[in-house]
Amino acid sequence: MSWSLKKKSQVLLDAEQGTVRKDWGGKISVALVYPNTYAVGMSNLGFQTIYRHLNAIPDVVCERVFVPESQDLEEMRRSATPPFSLESLRPLTDFHLVGFSVTYEGDYINVLRLLAMAGIPLRAAARRAHDPLVLMGGVCAFSNPEPIAPFMDFVVVGEGEELVVELIAAYREGYRDRAGFLASLVALEGVYVPGRYDIAYAADGTIAEVVARGGAPSVVAKRRLRNVNAFETVAAVKTPHAEYGHMALLEVGKGCGRGCRFCLEGQVYRPVRHRSVDTLRETVARMAASGERRVGLVGACVSDYPWLGDLLKIVEENGMELSISSLRADSLTEDLVAALARGGHRTLTMAPEAGTERLRRSVRKPITDEQLMTACDLVRAYGIPNLKTYFMIGQPTETIEDVEAIPELAGRMLERLRVLDPSGRPFGRLTLSVSSFVPKPWTPFQWAPFDGAESLQTKLEIIKRAARRFSNMRVLHENPREAALQALLARGDRRVGDFLALAAAHDGDWRRALREWEGDAAFYTTRPRAPDERLAWDHFDVGVKKAGLLREWERARAEDAVAAGAP
């Protein structure tokens, strides 16, 4: 192994608090892999939670693996160093199981790159007896894992706190050989073994049939925690090298009851499950006793937590400061803003998503302009100088007028935010963050087409040009072509796996892979889906009824027709 890579790993470990180091003797070894950089992976609370739960099992040793920084890749090639674990510097091939925690579809390519660098055959069907078992969990595992399914021995579908314990027990008690173990897993609820499913395609390229074999269920049901109070979701390891490394993270619950039509998380984590105040009180007290001074509340919609006022008091009673990543303008309270100001918050984040009330109603996020302005007044009143806003372009029913309204609304919010400092200069800054809408599985908009990179780029230019009028406003945005890649991977089927393999072979150059791939990206991205089309993810059950999603999709289109004056 390269000395410089080893030294860099040691620097990361030395800066951590809470690292778990265990002796390997006689234990089941698990490489928990986040297919992105250390800074990104260590900011993911789900990844950290599974790391802690696995290491709590006495006969398991779990170590973390990340994608190397770009400047380290050449050194890995030069020194023939394969991807290795942070804790013991062991290569992936030393582990019994290699588990990928995948939150973003774009990281699929990194999954395959890591396998290739490790010398593990990419496709599950090509793996040998001595190769590790390769599995996948995370949000992508129960959204639509089909594009990456050919490369997975099995997939953990759903919330893993309980399921990982059952998987380890099954391995401990029943592993004799790869084929036999995978055959036994089909009986375990929440486990998907892709090799046990045959996919048939119709003449028009759509999916005709999915046939389960060898005792596998025809529909794979997602696992969900029934009692969230039984499992504490906090950051296991603190590090200054992660985005939220300066604070203790605490999840207040799972799911969101708002039902925004574009939102995957609001659908697949249903039903909404809030942790009790008593449970959180114990956790906050333990954090304070360990020396933590700042707690970051995490959840799909923290400001909707029913007992937020009680929780704020608990945080303050324990002498801690509060941080929340994003808030809804229609659930913002004076007490909450005051607590954030006392905690030293310099920026508050809200997500209007659309520039007009009409479009917000269409996507079922009915926040009014008046509520947004009232939120700006609260932010200004408590001396928080900066506001970050999230908007989305390319949403169904969007018009150019909706796009033009984004910088206009942001400008009005900035004026409500700005005050004069003692020198008479304007005080206050607004960040306008613009993302591209990607139709996601398990949402009412799963039948909608992706807008297309060129159309999105045109809309971005409209926003950027208008925003230049405001000296205290900056625009952040992603590349629409990156959004097109996400749309392909979010809505793709197993045939998209060939594209992923090409991208991995070209060292992550997915643009080149798209040019060489024989498939048609537009078939998966900009093509509208018929209501009766079988979708790539229809052989999963994540607790969301397709009929209900279809009703919401039809309502959105009907509301748009009425707004447009259709007879």
Q: pLDDT per residue over 180-204, tens digit each? A: 999 999 999 999 999 999 999 999 9
CB–CB of 521/487 below 8 Å? Answer: no
Q: What is the pTM of this model?
A: 0.94
CB–CB of 317/277 below 8 Å? Answer: no
Q: In angstroms, what CA-CA distances link 181 with 170, 174, 178, 227? A: 8, 7, 5, 29
d(CA 42, CA 99): 16
Residues 212-220, mean pLDDT to the nearest whole number: 96
Instruction: Give the rounded percent of residues in the chain with a pLDDT score beyond 90.
Output: 80
pLDDT at 80: 93
Which CATH code for domain 247-491+537-563?
Answer: 3.80.30.20
Instruction: Locate 444 and state its tokens.
Output: 């009412």
pLDDT at 282: 95
Residues 408-418, mean pLDDT to the nearest whole number: 91
pLDDT at 564: 63
Q: Output the CA torsion 295→301→303→306 (10° steps).
A: -100
pLDDT above 50 for 247: yes
pLDDT above 60 for 567: no
Residues 129-143, mean pLDDT to the nearest whole number: 96
**CATH 3.80.30.20 intervals, the chain:** 247-491+537-563
pLDDT above 80 for 562: no
d(CA 54, CA 60): 7
Q: How many CB atoms lie within 10 A of CB 434?
A: 23
pLDDT above 50 for 420: no
User: Which of 113-117, 247-251, 285-289, 515-519 comes out lowest in average pLDDT?
Assistant: 247-251
- Nearest-5° angle of CA 236, CA 238, CA 241? 135
pLDDT at 245: 81
Q: Dump pLDDT digits (tens) for 362-408.
A: 999 999 999 999 999 998 889 888 899 999 999 999 999 999 999 99
Residues 317-333, mean pLDDT to the nearest whole number: 88
Residues 450-467, mean pLDDT to the nearest whole number: 98
Q: Cβ neighbours of residue 562 under 8 Å, at least 6 residues apart?
A: none
Instruction: Give the rounded percent of residues in the chain with a pLDDT score beyond 70.
Output: 97
d(CA 268, CA 63): 28
pLDDT at 427: 61
Q: Hey, is 389 helix, strand or coil?
A: strand
The pLDDT-based confidence of 291 (bands split at 50, 70, 90) is: very high
What would the DSSP string read from start to end of 420-431?
A: E-TTS-EE-EEE
pLDDT above 70 for 61: yes
| Top CATH class, 3-213 | alpha beta
**CATH 3.40.50.280 intervals, the chain:** 3-213
The pLDDT-based confidence of 421 (bands split at 50, 70, 90) is: low
pLDDT at 270: 83
